[in-house]
Amino acid sequence: MLNKNRQQGVFSIEMAFVLLGMGACLYFCFDLGYQQIRKSQLERVSYSLVSLLKERSLFYSDDQTQPNYRPNFQETEQLQRLAARFLNVKTGDVSVIVESRVSGRRVVIKKLASNVPCELNYPLNQSLAVSSGGKKSEAPIYQVTVCQIVPAWFERIVGNQAEKNDRVLSAHSTFVGR
């Protein structure tokens, strides 16, 4: 027969392990949930920015060879400031890549923040060619990629890489212009 005096701390030890495991699961869920919320915000912002980029063509003539029809670096800077305002962060915490293809000519303009690396994961290619209303010319296509660094809380605690404190999230949206 087992002695009950020797078993008094066993329940406390088991409860401590169970609570530690549950705490780790909750911490992981909070980290994952936060990253999903930020990803959905980035997707909303990229869609808004590409819509703005597309609609600005209403202010210019139908001549697609006009230099103002293609996006430029100043407009990309404005889009970066707008993205930072939408996300309620500093301008240096958001990177924006604007890619366009107007009249078959592809242009990529990057406005990268110094601490936010951003890559163009899905470049525009010729398979996305869309004719504009029966004309032989192609409709302009715009793509905006927005990147932001978010903290990776769970990886800081569990991971074996001490320098991996943050994760870069990105979202892109593609839209056919007018």
What burial letters (b/e) apply to 80-103, b meaning 16+ CB within 10 Å? bebbbebbeeeeebbbbbbbbbbe
pLDDT in tens, 109-145: 777 777 778 887 777 775 566 665 566 667 788 888 8
Beta bridge partners of 14: none
pLDDT in tens, 14-30: 889 999 999 989 988 99
Is pLDDT at 177 greater than 90 in this prediction? no
Look-up of token digits 């990886």: 155
The pTM of this model reads 0.75
Residues in the chain: 178
